[in-house]
Structure 1
Amino acid sequence: MHLIKSLLVVTAVALSGCTTAPTLPPPTFPGIEQSNKIAIEDLRPASESEKKIFSLMVSSDAYAIYRVADNATDPTGPRLLAHRAYEAFPQLAEQPSIKVLHFVTYANMQSHLRRSVTQGLLIGPVGMALVGSPSYPSSEVLTSAINSEQLERTAGDQEHTRAYFTEQENPSKSPVNVIYIDAEILGKRVASRCLVPPVTGKPNLFLVEAFDMCIANHLALHRSINPATAPQ
């Protein structure tokens, strides 16, 4: 029983993000003040800006999945989106506002922590210390356009399913962040889902850097998608 309690504490600490934070100073964004003129109409559900651990029960489908709070990064995701949109679309100088309907981040450490719990039960805390943390192969950020209704359908009790991934997306079952962006820029609304695994060449990836990658891909989708052919 003591071992199980210890593993639950480890799980809670891991889900807080404390065990995976890079030791380097976070990146800065020179010139971000230039986009202060862009008004952000934040239309997100209030919960999307708040942290939530969905379950600490190993048997739960929601185990080791959590929603990341806005204040986990500086700048926040919506603020960085406004800045990158300002850089990408000169037309925003004439229409200096964007609507953010969703910008929410989930961390999925389910497979990683279930493996840790199983090993802990088999070999105990001392054995776990000797084994150390597993390493995962590096991959690339995956971004796809989605229908914004997908986010509405998975609200409430099914919210944790937004953090799921397919075997094709993440064959090694690495810990991942899944970032959803749904924004209207210059009258055009585009929604995207961005899966961030351990990234090649970025062993110490800050969440705000993951935001930047996903935002770049989202804005590329914004340029390329015709509203008439957007995902349904």
Structure 2
Amino acid sequence: MDLPGTDESVSVPIKDLRPKTEKENGTFSFAITSSAYGIYRKGDATLAPPMIQIFRRLVFEKLGGSAKPLEISVYHMVVYANMKSEFRRAAAFAAVGGAVGGALAGAATGSTVNLSQSLVDRAHFEDEEIDENERADYTEAENPERTSVYVIYIDADINGKRTFVKTMAPIKTRDKQDGYVAAVKSAIGYFLSYY
């Protein structure tokens, strides 16, 4: 992600309290019949600079001008890619039409989904009865065309105020910009709208 100018936020301490898994890439299932198929966790190494550093910089740019020093703690910051429906469509087309069918399936996934953002129930998110891959699920109302999406969670505390948000954004954008970068910027911007 291109962040122009000098990064003055490097002096701001940030407590990274995320579970270790949220920092790592993950694939939940390769079995097409699994409910976890086509869902991935994108770790810190998939974005340069890592999302937590981008977060610190954008927090500093918005709130760093006050006389009070910034205190930032991050409890959850994780990105999921849910490509389940797109992959299943491609597999179905390929089974029927071979390589040509697979190519047609790829061309048929050009639709996008609108940005969806909301506050998160922390207790539900941390419920150990819920499989991690379920955090990347969406409802029919949120994504009626079952387009591939990024689902991003940010749970952080800035100077004693803790907020937990979710952003669902399309992997493929209408204007051909990098969907991952656009999703991360939207997620952090939405989080900061509460400050």
TM-score by length of 1: 0.77
Q: 2:59 aligns with which of 77, 85, 99?
A: 85
Task: Give the paired residue count.
Answer: 195
Alpha-carbon shift at residue 28 of structure 1 (Å): 1.1
The question of whether the paired residues in 1 share the 8 Å contact of 2:90 and 2:106 is answered with: no
**In the alignment, which residue of structure 1 is the partner of 2:71?**
97
Quickly say closer, same or farther: Cα 1:209–1:131, change in 2 above 3 A.
closer
Runs (5+) with no aligned partner, structure 1: 1-26, 224-232
Distance (Å, rounded) in 2 between the aligned partners of 1:130 and 1:174:
15
Q: Give the secondary structure class of the aligned counterpart of 2:131.
A: helix
Amino acid at match of 2:33: S
The corresponding residue for 2:31 is 57
* One-letter code aligned to 1:208: V
Verify the 8 A CA contact 1:106 1:178 in the aligned structure 2: yes
15, 35, 47: which is aligned to 1:41?
15
Residues 34 and 58 (structure 1), Cα distance of their counterparts in 2 relative to 1, 3 Å cut: same
Give the whole-Å Cα distance in 2 for the aligned partners of 1:129 and 1:111.
Answer: 15
| Offset from partner CA, 1:107-133 (integer Å, 9 cap, x none) | 000000001111111111244346653
Question: Is 1:218–2:191 an aligned residue pair?
Answer: yes
For structure 2, the 5+ residue unaligned runs are: none
Q: Residues 92, 120 of structure 1: CA spacing in aligned structure 2 closer, same or farther, 3 A cutoff?
A: farther
Q: Which residue in 2 is equivalent to 1:196?
A: 169
Counterpart Cα distance in 1 of 2:106 and 2:182: 26
CA distance, structure 1, for counterparts of residue 101 and residue 111 of structure 2: 24
Aligned sequence identity (%): 34
1:69: Cα distance to partner? Answer: 1.2
Residue 186 of structure 1 aligns with an amino acid whose one-letter code is N
Deviation, structure 1 residue 99 = 0.2
Aligned position for 2:93: 119
For 1:171 and 1:91, locate their aligned partners in 2 and report how far apart those are by CA, in whole Å: 42
* Structure with more helix by fraction: 1
Matched, 1:176 2:161: no
> 1:136 Cα deviation (Å)?
3.0
Written as runs of structure 1 = structure 2, the 5 A alignment for 1:112-191 is 112-129=86-103, 132-153=106-127, 158-191=131-164
Normalising by structure 2, what TM-score? 0.91
